[in-house]
Amino acid sequence: MDSFIRSILNASRAKKRIITLCIDSLFIVLAFWLALVVRLDSLEPLKQAQNWVLLTLLTPVSLYAFISLGLYRAVLRYMNSQAIWAIVLGTVITTVSLVLLAFFMGVDIPRTMPFIFAWLCLLTVGGARVLVRALIGKMTTSKKESVIIYGAGSAGRQLATALGAGPEYFVSAFIDDDVTKHGSIIQGIPVVEFKGIYELINKRKASKVLLALPSETRARRKEILAQLEPLAIKVLSIPGMADVVEGKAKLSEISDVGVEDLLGRDPVTPKPDLMAANIASKVVMVTGAGGSIGSELCRQIIKQKPTKLILFEQSEFALYAIEKELCEYIINNNLEIELVPIMGSVQRINRIETVMMAFGVQTVYHAAAYKHVPLVEHNVVEGVRNNVFGTYYTAKAAVNAGVENFVLISTDKAVRPTNVMGATKRMAELVLQGLAQEQGSKHKTRFCMVRFGNVLGSSGSVVPLFRRQIKEGGPITLTHPDITRFFMTIPEAAQLVIQAGAMGKGGDVFVLDMGDPVKIKDLASKMVRLSGLSVKTDTNPHGDIEIKCTGLRPGEKLFEELLIGDNVGETIHERIMTANEVMLPLSELNVFIEALDIACHNFDHQAIRQLLLDAPTGFNPTDGICDLVWNAKKQLPLDSDEKVVSLKTS
């Protein structure tokens, strides 16, 4: 039977219409004779020729009416109220035609016969379509994956409609917190309370839960995810309403649950005056414009309508990608902003100073830096050159070019650093604090720095790594079971950086409120369980995904901090604080800078380390010197000096 139905379904559209016309003709004939036989309780009408003539004329009239009303243009599996009205109106026209034809032809039919005929037409022509639609629906849904939608609001209903028309999912139930909806049926789908999910899962009527709660707060979404986490079911989400409104996503798009929902921390609405203060109608420059933070800063900056935005980036492809994206945004929103893509390194002061002077830069956001802890440990000289001297040269160029505002993107790893990356970022802070002491007497540039923790989705973030490892079947690798980190979304971090920069008076160290620290192992476990899988442990040896600890990497801390001391002040923004940190006068700082420059030039890693220890950085390394080149050179035989290029020059 299924094969017969499928052969009809796979036929061409013209053949389907011919078959439907033939079947409807048969229904009209049957309805006519049944109406007469039932009314007269006799088969005599079949013997009367005039009845056959009447039926012969009635059938084409009826079919023409149905055709004119568009009944045969409607696709059965998507039949809606328009098709139903076409059947009703076509039946009325057919019945009226029957009465008129019988009257003018002088055919004697019972007065109640047309009413019986009309009901039989509705039951056969309409009922057949309902039956076929149900059969098709059963056949198609049998191959679809059964899912539950959490949220029976407008977003949930739109999602159910979209999924019903697609080939992948079949919605078996809605779950909603509104008790007034429990037990009701929406779009043919029952609404059940949360405890009903257990029965659906046990009966294998659901394999996934789709969160249709785009307008809910992250705190509420976190609560719901905590309820769903113990269940052996995969949890997916639809985009937030803000992304839908901005055109970044559609309600029908389904994706993995965002980690920001797991954190349960709602972003604070940015203050418009602070966002625009250093940007609106000004020439703005972003170094490291192609990076995770730099690119998001650029996206936030163009919304504040600067006159020019200078994209300064070392990577050709990264510069191309962000310029293309921003150009499209500017064109689509009819903005009058000049984009200037500049390739260059922050380690070349002449290049960056010339750029600043040529375009009259007024505000600089310095995001260019090497931030990956193990890589900087393995490439110490480049880390120092980029993070310390890159900041120093960019800041000096800003002073010489008369830049009004300079904002450094710092990190929580600059607090009591245990690695070279953190120590170099703390040195970069000291550079700006030293230059800030001369503000007013020797220059007018306002320097400030903003310190925050990890951002979700940035390059090198653990979240994309965990998703890939779960998709591949594991194991998930993390360095230590007790390791914790602060997390924030990239857009929120960029907005807070801009707002903090607007509050700077000179030499300020701003610290962003990152919320509570997150245990990375707990984060990994939640991601596994919300993927519908279980964590493989000693108590659960048959679990799906194993979490392996590989040991702390060089320079890696178990716990990150945002403040060196407890001396913290408030600002006008609830998520931004100020830290009072130790600083060096510029004259003393220059001694360190000069010595560090010589040590880098000579590839003297021992001297570099000692200088970082002597400076007021709080540097407390947990490992020895891990530079790959330095260690490789140490392993060379003493008599091989003539066969290799000396790394140390006079």
Q: By three-state DSSP, how is residue 342 classified?
A: strand
The pLDDT, as a whole number, for residue 186 is 82
Q: How does residue 511 score in pLDDT terms, banded at 50, 70 and 90?
A: confident
Neighbours of 491 (CB within 10 A): 18
The pLDDT, as a whole number, for residue 66 is 76
H or E stretch including 380? helix 380-384
The pLDDT, as a whole number, for residue 321 is 94
pTM, rounded to two decimals: 0.66
Are 266 and 463 in contact by the 8 Å Cβ rule? The answer is no
Query: CA-CA distance, 544 to 473, in Å (whole number)?
Result: 7
- Asked if pLDDT for residue 496 goes beyond 60, the answer is yes
More confident: 202 or 597 = 597
- Asked if pLDDT for residue 643 goes beyond 50, the answer is no
Least confident of 95-109, 258-272, 277-291, 501-515: 258-272
More confident: 454 or 512 = 512
pLDDT digits (tens, 9 = 90+) for 174-194: 888 888 888 788 877 888 888
> Of residues 371, 413, 521, 557, which has the active-site annotation?
413
The pLDDT, as a whole number, for residue 124 is 81
Average pLDDT over residues 91-111: 82
H or E stretch including 6? helix 2-9
Give ∠ CA 502-504-509 in degrees, rounded to 5.
125
pLDDT digits (tens, 9 = 90+) for 255-287: 666 666 666 566 667 888 889 989 999 999 999
Examine residue 475 and say whether the peptide bond preceding it is cis (omega within 30 degrees of 0).
yes
Q: By three-state DSSP, how is residue 585 classified?
A: coil
Mean of per-residue pLDDT scores for the chain: 80
Query: CA-CA distance, 116 to 575, in Å (whole number)?
Result: 75
- Asked if pLDDT for residue 169 goes beyond 70, the answer is yes
- Asked if pLDDT for residue 23 goes beyond 90, the answer is no
Q: How does residue 39 score in pLDDT terms, banded at 50, 70 and 90?
A: confident
pLDDT digits (tens, 9 = 90+) for 296-350: 999 999 999 999 999 999 999 999 999 999 999 999 999 999 999 999 999 999 9
Are 520 and 483 in contact by the 8 Å Cβ rule? The answer is yes
- Asked if pLDDT for residue 598 goes beyond 70, the answer is yes
Least confident of 85-94, 111-120, 371-380, 554-563: 554-563
The pLDDT, as a whole number, for residue 636 is 78
Which residues make Cβ contacts (< 8 Å) with residue 634, sequence separation at least 6?
Answer: none
| Residue with token string 């049944």 | 34
The pLDDT, as a whole number, for residue 575 is 76
- Asked if pLDDT for residue 413 goes beyond 60, the answer is yes
Average pLDDT over residues 532-547: 80
Backbone angles phi, psi at 149, to 5 degrees: -105, 120
| Residue with token string 């979240």 | 463
Q: How does residue 508 score in pLDDT terms, banded at 50, 70 and 90?
A: confident
DSSP 8-state assignment for residue 258: P
- Asked if pLDDT for residue 454 goes beyond 80, the answer is no
**413 catalytic per annotation:** yes
The pLDDT, as a whole number, for residue 514 is 66
The pLDDT, as a whole number, for residue 247 is 53
Q: How does residue 617 score in pLDDT terms, banded at 50, 70 and 90?
A: confident
The pLDDT, as a whole number, for residue 376 is 92
Q: Which two tokens stand for residue 532?
A: 């519908």
Average pLDDT over residues 492-501: 86
- Asked if pLDDT for residue 427 goes beyond 60, the answer is yes
The pLDDT, as a whole number, for residue 562 is 52
The pLDDT, as a whole number, for residue 352 is 96
- Asked if pLDDT for residue 75 goes beyond 60, the answer is no
- Asked if pLDDT for residue 223 goes beyond 90, the answer is no
Q: How does residue 68 score in pLDDT terms, banded at 50, 70 and 90?
A: confident
Let me know if 360 is exposed, middle or buried by CB neighbors in 10 A (0-12, 13-18, 19+).
middle
Nearest C-alpha neighbor of 388 from the set 353, 424, 364, 414: 424
Q: How does residue 19 score in pLDDT terms, banded at 50, 70 and 90?
A: confident
The pLDDT, as a whole number, for residue 650 is 41
Nearest C-alpha neighbor of 231 from the set 536, 466, 533: 533
Give ∠ CA 473-478-479 in degrees, rounded to 5.
150
Q: What is the DSSP string of 105-150?
A: HT----TTHHHHHHHHHIIIIIHHHHHHHHHHHHHHHTTSEEEEEE
Neighbours of 57 (CB within 10 A): 15
Let me know if 181 is exposed, middle or buried by CB neighbors in 10 A (0-12, 13-18, 19+).
middle
Q: How does residue 42 score in pLDDT terms, banded at 50, 70 and 90?
A: confident
